[in-house]
Structure 1
Amino acid sequence: MAGSQIPSYVLYGEPSGSAFPDCLHCERVSERSRLHNWTIQPHRHRGLHQFFWIAKGSVVVTSDTYRRALKAPALIMNAPMSVHGFEWEAESDGYVITVPTVSLDNNLPPHTGLLGRLDRSLFLQYSTERTAAVMALKLFEAIDDEYRGRQEGRVQALLCQVGLLALFVIRAAGRRQKSLSEPAHSGVAMGRRFVELVESNYRKHRPLSFYAFRLGVSVTHLGRICRGQFGISSQSILHDRLILEAKRNLAYTSASVADIASDLGFRDAAYFSKFFASQVGDTPSSFRKTF
């Protein structure tokens, strides 16, 4: 399939432009798969890692140019922008955890390059390793319990727990010489570094030349990487990040439009409102009221 024909979702089936719902997302495999008659068509995610625990049943996974069958207990880690689909055995179950790659990087030991080892999808079958399977299940269950609760420090706890899950997967893959993995996608690491830079600088309204210089590439090459990995331009990624933060502030705070504009680095509220309307098709005040 051509890149433009492969849908890119936040989770699966949402309309384009949907905001990520939380610091991470956790649900049972059966919740979404049953709605789609146990078949999840090939798709991909921009800037997100996904971790699956298959606790019951089996699945045939399509991952880029490969197909493989896994049966419970098993673990899957989908790398950002890998094209993947699932044909689940009816009534299969387990957990699926989706986390922004930037958040994952922030909760792994710094300056270790560990996140780079998750630039390719991984598939771990636990047919005979009962102890390892129990450990994996406990990690998924702990995240699910915290996710569905509302205790103090929930976000911090969730991000720490998913960091532990990522380390578990990295260690397990390192021990399993026969573990199946996909070749790393060309440009994935560069795309991830760009998104990380955007996360640190989007309020400063840096030009694309700033990001290209920091990455050691031309603006044109950066654009090619973004279109290849994300399906949109590098400028659109900058705009999307500003709009996402604006929506969050409008939806979840009582800050004035002027204060939100200032916080996001806009020179005045009128310019911010014009920018927001051009991207969203609605004014900030109207968006807040509708939400």
Structure 2
Amino acid sequence: MNDTSPIASPLRLIQIPRLAARGRWRVEAMRSINEPLLLWFTRGQGRITVGGITRGYGAHNAIFVPPGVMHGFEVSSHVFGTAIYFGRDCELPLPEEPLHLRVRDAAAQVELTGILDNIQRELDSDRPAHDRAAHHHLGLLGVWLDRQIAQSGADSRPRDAAARLVARYTALVERDFRSGMGVADYAAALGVTPTHLTRVCRQSCDRSAHELLQDRVLFEARKLLAETTIPVGEVSRRLGFTSAAYFTRAFQNRVGATPSAFRRAN
């Protein structure tokens, strides 16, 4: 599991456009974080992939991503909303599986907006016990989620065998993407053929098993190149590539620049 969220206070609210301010790859490529995340979209639309399942999202969609679940979503200049990072030490009772809620009730939309405003107000405050107050409001956000699940009858679990297989595959990728394992290795671990694994991945998220794996690995590569001074050869080794030359070719084919050029630009 790898934390790729912005470094800040344990509980934080970040406007979604800011997440992509230093490159859309930071939100669109597959990755996971070590804390619960709620995405509240208030404007725009696109596609989001969570645990290997791709769905469309639009205004007034709330998407909950548990810690360690691989995800990525499209973001354009028309997309607006808030990302709520609950913090690594969050002890609230929250869903254990990904959840996608389409919140059509206007009162529920207003209620959520009010909760988020209250959290942000306390986080920005210097009044005594403002941190404790912010976490109490966060507790109300957990209650809001519970009520929306109960009212909508939402089932956060994958509903068919293909979706369950892809969810298991992405969980394995998230655990082992630094190992240098290929699709055939993951397929063997899951007890299926590489062809079948690729077929169900395309069915669930319109990407092959190899594309999902490569996207996760190269997100990590871009993050290391952009945020550290680790030599390119060491980045290659840490991500399981057999040689720096092979890593450079794979990176350039996917990103459109060599690792060194990408680092200079970022």
Shorter-chain TM band: 0.5 to 0.7
Q: Aligned match of 1:219 in 180, 186, 194?
A: 194
Preserved contact between residue 48 and residue 79 of structure 1 (Cα < 8 Å): no
Preserved contact between residue 201 and residue 208 of structure 2 (Cα < 8 Å): yes
- Structure 2, unaligned runs of 5 or more: 1-15, 66-70, 72-79, 125-134
Cα displacement (A) at 1:192: 2.8
Q: Aligned match of 2:111 in 133, 139, 142?
A: 133
Matched positions, count:
214
Preserved contact between residue 124 and residue 173 of structure 1 (Cα < 8 Å): no
Partners of 1:47 and 1:275 in 2: CA distance: 24
Aligned to 1:229: 204
Q: What does the per-residue CA deviation read over 1:194-231, in whole Å, with 9 as the maximum and x for residues that have no partner?
A: 22211111110213233224434332222122112221
Aligned to 2:101: 121
User: Counterpart of 1:287 in 2: which secondary structure?
Assistant: helix
Amino acid at match of 1:123: V
Partners of 1:220 and 1:113 in 2: CA distance: 36
Amino acid at match of 1:19: W
Partners of 2:50 and 2:255 in 1: CA distance: 21
Cα gap change, 1:144 to 1:261, in 2 (>3 Å): farther
Cα gap change, 1:107 to 1:217, in 2 (>3 Å): farther
Instruction: Give the fraction of aligned pairs with identical amino acids, expressed as a percent.
Output: 23
Taking only aligned residues, the RMSD between alpha carbons, in angstroms, comes to: 5.0
Q: Which has the higher contact order (CA 8 A, sep 6+)?
A: 2
Partners of 1:210 and 1:166 in 2: CA distance: 41
Cα gap change, 1:172 to 1:280, in 2 (>3 Å): same
Partners of 1:212 and 1:96 in 2: CA distance: 36
Aligned to 1:157: none
Amino acid at match of 2:111: A
Cα displacement (A) at 1:233: 0.7
Partners of 1:254 and 1:76 in 2: CA distance: 38
TM-score w.r.t. structure 2 length? 0.58
Cα gap change, 1:138 to 1:25, in 2 (>3 Å): closer
Cα gap change, 1:261 to 1:216, in 2 (>3 Å): same
Preserved contact between residue 108 and residue 115 of structure 1 (Cα < 8 Å): no
Q: Aligned match of 1:242 in 217, 222, 241?
A: 217
Partners of 1:222 and 1:259 in 2: CA distance: 31
Amino acid at match of 1:115: E
Amino acid at match of 1:239: Q
Aligned to 2:129: none
Partners of 2:114 and 2:106 in 1: CA distance: 11
Q: What does the per-residue CA deviation read over 1:119-170, in whole Å, with 9 as the maximum and x for residues that have no partner?
A: x53537374x8xx937x74356537986x9xxxxxxxxxxx99x96885455
User: Counterpart of 2:97 in 1: which secondary structure?
Assistant: helix
Would you say 1:285 and 2:260 are equivalent positions? Answer: yes
Cα gap change, 1:142 to 1:79, in 2 (>3 Å): closer
